[in-house]
Amino acid sequence: MKKSTMVELVQELELIVPRTPAIEEMITEAKAGEYHDYKNQKYVCGKVAVVGKLQAAGLNQLAERVADGEFDEEADEEDKANLKRDALAGGFSEEQCKILFGL
């Protein structure tokens, strides 16, 4: 089972001592969904952003785990609805959404 950046990554970050401003920022952003595969609103790719931040903080093992997909989320119903809405707004047809995304 995949872990969530909004839950399990937050839990791991909260265990890090000392808690630096960079770690505090990552905790805040993770809780807000900024590293989530579907809920991210801030970054083009939240996973790339958090991996870079983790590496900059010297948390290379955790960065590797994120990069390896340990924290890749599945789309929930809200995420699927948003994906379909955005695809339709971008010119996709209902049929294309069904074929490409199963929506």
Q: What is the pLDDT of residues 65-90, one digit of tens each?
A: 999 999 999 888 998 898 889 899 99
Domain that holds residue 59: 8-67
Helices marked H in the chain = 8-14, 21-31, 46-56, 60-67, 77-89, 94-101
78 and 63 co-located in one domain? no
59 and 85 co-located in one domain? no
3 in any annotated domain: no
2 in any annotated domain: no
Q: Write the Ramachandran bin of 102: left for phi over 0, alpha for psi from -120 to 50, otherwise beta.
A: left
pTM for this model (two decimals): 0.83
Q: Do 6 and 31 touch, CB atoms closer than 8 A?
A: yes
Q: Write the Ramachandran bin of 18: left for phi over 0, alpha for psi from -120 to 50, otherwise beta.
A: beta
17 and 54 co-located in one domain? yes
61 and 80 co-located in one domain? no
Chain segment 8-60, per-residue pLDDT in tens: 999 999 999 999 999 999 999 999 999 999 999 999 999 999 999 999 999 99
57 and 79 co-located in one domain? no
User: Count of domains in the chain?
Assistant: 2
Contact residues for 26 (Cβ-Cβ < 8 A; gap 6+)? 13, 50, 53, 54, 57
